[in-house]
Amino acid sequence: MVTGGSRGIGLATARRFLAAGASVTIGAMDPGRLDAARKNLDGDVRLATVAADVGTPEGCRATVEAALAAFGRLDVLFTNAGNYESAPLEDVAEDLWDRTIDTHVKGTFFCVQAAVQALREVSGCVVTMGSDAGLLGFKGGWAAYCAAMGGVLSLTRQLAVDLAPQVRVNAVAPGPVGTQHLYADLAAASYGGFDRVEDATQAVIDSVPLKRIITPEEVAEAVVFLASARSITGAILSVDGGTTIALP
């Protein structure tokens, strides 16, 4: 089960799991994007889709129920759904704060809660979507997002304790990934107030020790690795090109 699976990292991960022989359910809020994702994945017969809002417990339950109805069991849950909104500290509205915390932290918790019985039955695993934003502070008004990512990483460790030994729980923590969200932010010059997108993009690249933007496919590789790494639980795997070890 891949939440937020209609594009970006979620879509790349769904493709990677399908290539590995798994049956996959992808969830998203927008039915149109789910239809586009199905076409992007060539309408694979081992693919199911569900439209639901995992920012609510009801949406989490509906998502997990759809996966179980489609394939009868659930071995891996990847809680990837997220929103990426920034605002100066003075301008952060309550609805932006709530939306960000609900989607990432509440959504992660209640998706795991909804799936835990099915996961225990097969000694399955959870991979949560974190970020280097849960380990670092960012300029540009990312307080809500950094708080949410810190919450997800802390929650991941606690879930690993609570669900051992039957269920493993790990997190991926990407750095700057080449998704629509990143390029929209760059176009809006939210990285340091640059006048040109090219300058903002280069600044992001310069901040990464490996000197490149991470691809969604590289994050997907890490998710599939954690799903198959039977001796790893409670880990945070940074897929960031080294951003969390580099001085600014």
| pLDDT tens digit sequence for 131-146 | 998 998 877 778 999 9
Query: Which residue's entry shows tokens 């502070």?
Result: 137
Burial classification of residue 247, based on how many CB atoms lie within 10 Å of its CB (0-12 exposed, 13-18 middle, 19 or more buried): exposed
All structural domains of the chain with their residue ranges: 2-177+217-239, 178-213
The verdict on whether 145 is a catalytic residue reads: yes
Asked if 141 contacts 189 with a C-beta cutoff of 8 angstroms, the reply is no
| pLDDT tens digit sequence for 83-133 | 877 777 888 899 988 999 999 999 999 999 999 999 999 999 999 999 998
Instruction: Answer whether residue 191 shows pLDDT above 60.
Output: no
Asked if 80 contacts 129 with a C-beta cutoff of 8 angstroms, the reply is yes
Burial classification of residue 126, based on how many CB atoms lie within 10 Å of its CB (0-12 exposed, 13-18 middle, 19 or more buried): buried
Question: For residue 229, which amino acid is it?
Answer: A
Task: Look over the chain and give the mean of its residue pLDDT values, rounded to a whole number.
Answer: 91
CATH fold, domain 2-177+217-239, is Rossmann fold (3.40.50)
Q: What is the pLDDT of residue 192?
A: 58
Give the predicted TM-score (pTM) of the model.
0.92
As a whole number, mean pLDDT of residues 227-241 equals 96
Vertex 28, ends 25 and 33: CA angle to 5°? 100
CA-based Rg of the chain, rounded to a whole angstrom? Answer: 17
As a whole number, mean pLDDT of residues 196-207 equals 83
CA distance 233 to 30: 32
Q: For the packed helices 94-101 and 143-163, what is the interaxial angle rounded to 10 degrees?
A: 30
**pLDDT: is 87 or 61 the higher one?**
61
As a whole number, mean pLDDT of residues 16-36 equals 95
Set 84, 145, 183, 191: catalytic member = 145
